[in-house]
């Protein structure tokens, strides 16, 4: 008899955005990989009616759950409910544990933890007035505190700091677009990198590191991976934000540093299974951690799959490693 694996995914509404619909694409791709590995995949939406979700999980009695839940009731702030419920049911699941999911999904909290651990992360200001530095100046990006997928992030997100009252007012004004609470993060002018990590029997390892190139961007155009760059296939940003894996020898020290810092982040947050760390690197070649993603996109056209391909790891083999890590 084939071992049963429940693929627990976000409950997607009919009017969902493209970033939410992508969760269903991930689920189908993972299901196909699991069939290749001789598992029996069962897709299950993680509903706001938690009693129904719990009843379904208990009746299915899966060998493990492949957890790709990104939202509950379309809210990223509830992402940790899925692993918390799986913990309470004593069901094995893939990916990071509840505490890691909560800490990293609350991006200002993650930045505090990184800062306290001595990991460089851009200065930031929170809506309650907390600031990570005494002297505040320069350019800041207004970002969502909880929502991923670059929700609400665009070229209008960059503002010049004048005083704290105005930046707090600006955050309040943008709350609805950003899906709730937000924060202001110092803009690091420079290069952007994504570092994917995966666990195997020997422990966590860094996959080939990707740099995001901003091709044919005008000199005055903001170079960030915003919502359009990720999800709007018809946009200039989507078609001109290019991923590269090949680096000159001059970049070898930087690539080594990104790997080392990513593994430190893995240990600081007690990550498990797979994850991604996003960086900006300033003009002095100093890396700054933007965020730690405990639930990176596993769609076939996303960065994690591209890193696997670069490492000559078959997609279904990676899914197998992730499952084995959950049920070992």
Q: Output the DSSP codes for 166-214.
A: HHHHHHHHHTTTTTS-EEEEE---EEEEEEEEEEETTEEEEPPPEEEEE
Residue 149: is its pLDDT beyond 80?
no
pLDDT tens-digit map of 12-56: 887 778 888 889 999 999 999 999 999 999 999 999 999 999 999
Distance CA(50)–CA(46), nearest Å, equals 8
pLDDT tens-digit map of 220-230: 999 999 999 99
Distance CA(168)–CA(181), nearest Å, equals 11
For residue 327, name the pLDDT band (cuts at 50, 70, 90).
confident
* 10-24, 248-262, 289-303, range with the lowest pLDDT: 10-24
pLDDT tens-digit map of 203-216: 999 999 999 999 99
Q: How many CB atoms lie within 10 A of CB 229?
A: 21
Query: What is the CA 74 to chain-centroid distance, rounded?
Result: 16
CATH of the structural domain 189-327, one choice from 3.30.470.20, 2.40.50.100, 3.90.1150.10, 3.40.50.150: 3.30.470.20
Do 266 and 275 contact (CB within 8 A), yes or no? yes
For residue 202, name the pLDDT band (cuts at 50, 70, 90).
confident
Phi-psi region of 91 (alpha: psi -120 to 50; beta: other; left: phi over 0): beta
For residue 318, what are the CA distances in angstroms to 33, 251, 266? Answer: 9, 28, 18
Higher pLDDT, 74 or 16: 74
- Residue 19 has a pLDDT of 83
Residue 190: is its pLDDT beyond 80?
yes
Give φ, ψ of 167 to 5 degrees: -70, -35
Query: What is the CA 203 to chain-centroid distance, rounded?
Result: 21
3-state secondary structure of 317: helix
Distance CA(290)–CA(285), nearest Å, equals 15
| pLDDT over 70 percentage in the chain | 100
- Residue 160 has a pLDDT of 93
- Residue 216 has a pLDDT of 95
Q: Which two tokens stand for residue 260?
A: 């080392």
| 222: CB partners within 8 A, 6+ apart | 155, 158
pLDDT tens-digit map of 89-109: 999 999 999 999 999 999 999
Residue of 200, 197, 207, 196 lying closest to 328 (CA atoms): 200
pLDDT, mean of residues 232-237: 93
Q: How many CB atoms lie within 10 A of CB 132?
A: 17
Q: Taking the model in full, what pTM does it have?
A: 0.94
Q: Are strands 3-10 and 39-46 parallel, antiparallel or unpaired?
A: parallel
pLDDT tens-digit map of 104-132: 999 999 999 999 999 999 999 999 989 99
- Residue 238 has a pLDDT of 93
- Residue 179 has a pLDDT of 87
- Residue 111 has a pLDDT of 98
CATH of the structural domain 3-95, one choice from 3.40.1160.10, 3.40.50.20, 3.20.20.70, 3.30.70.270: 3.40.50.20
- Residue 248 has a pLDDT of 96
Residue of 34, 95, 43 lying closest to 320 (CA atoms): 34
- Residue 192 has a pLDDT of 97
Residue of 221, 219, 217, 212 lying closest to 242 (CA atoms): 212
β-pair partners for 139: 160
Do 170 and 134 contact (CB within 8 A), yes or no? no
Distance CA(142)–CA(125), nearest Å, equals 9
- Residue 152 has a pLDDT of 86
């Amino acid at each position: 008899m084939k071992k049963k694996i429940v693929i627990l995914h976000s409950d997607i509404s009919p009017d969902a955005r493209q970033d939410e619909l992508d969760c269903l694409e991930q689920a189908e791709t993972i299901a196909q990989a699991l069939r290749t590995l001789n598992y029996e995949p069962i897709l299950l939406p993680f509903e706001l009616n938690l009693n129904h979700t719990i009843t379904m999980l208990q009746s299915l009695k899966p060998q493990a759950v492949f957890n790709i839940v990104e939202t509950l009731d379309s809210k990223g702030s509830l992402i940790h409910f899925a692993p918390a419920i799986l913990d309470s049911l004593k069901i094995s699941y893939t990916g990071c544990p509840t505490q890691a999911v909560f800490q990293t999904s609350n991006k200002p909290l993650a930045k505090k933890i990184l800062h306290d651990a001595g990991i460089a992360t851009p200065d930031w200001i929170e809506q309650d007035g907390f600031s990570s530095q005494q002297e505040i100046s320069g350019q800041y990006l207004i970002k969502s505190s909880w929502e991923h997928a670059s929700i609400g992030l665009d070229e209008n997100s960059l503002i010049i700091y004048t005083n704290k009252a105005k930046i707090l007012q600006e955050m309040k004004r943008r709350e609805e677009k950003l899906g709730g609470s937000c924060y202001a993060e110092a803009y690091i002018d420079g290069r952007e990198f994504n570092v994917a990590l995966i666990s195997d029997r020997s422990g966590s390892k860094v996959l080939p590191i990707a740099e995001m190139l901003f091709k044919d961007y005008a000199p005055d155009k903001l170079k960030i991976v915003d919502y359009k760059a990720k999800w709007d296939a018809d946009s200039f940003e989507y078609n001109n934000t290019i991923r590269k894996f090949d680096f000159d020898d001059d970049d070898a020290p930087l690539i080594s540093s990104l790997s080392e810092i990513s593994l430190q982040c893995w240990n600081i947050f007690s990550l498990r299974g797979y994850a991604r760390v996003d960086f900006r690197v300033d003009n002095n070649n100093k890396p700054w951690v933007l965020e730690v993603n405990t639930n990176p996109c596993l769609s076939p056209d996303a960065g994690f799959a591209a890193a696997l391909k670069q490492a000559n790891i078959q997609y279904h083999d990676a899914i197998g490693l992730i499952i084995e890590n959950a049920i070992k």
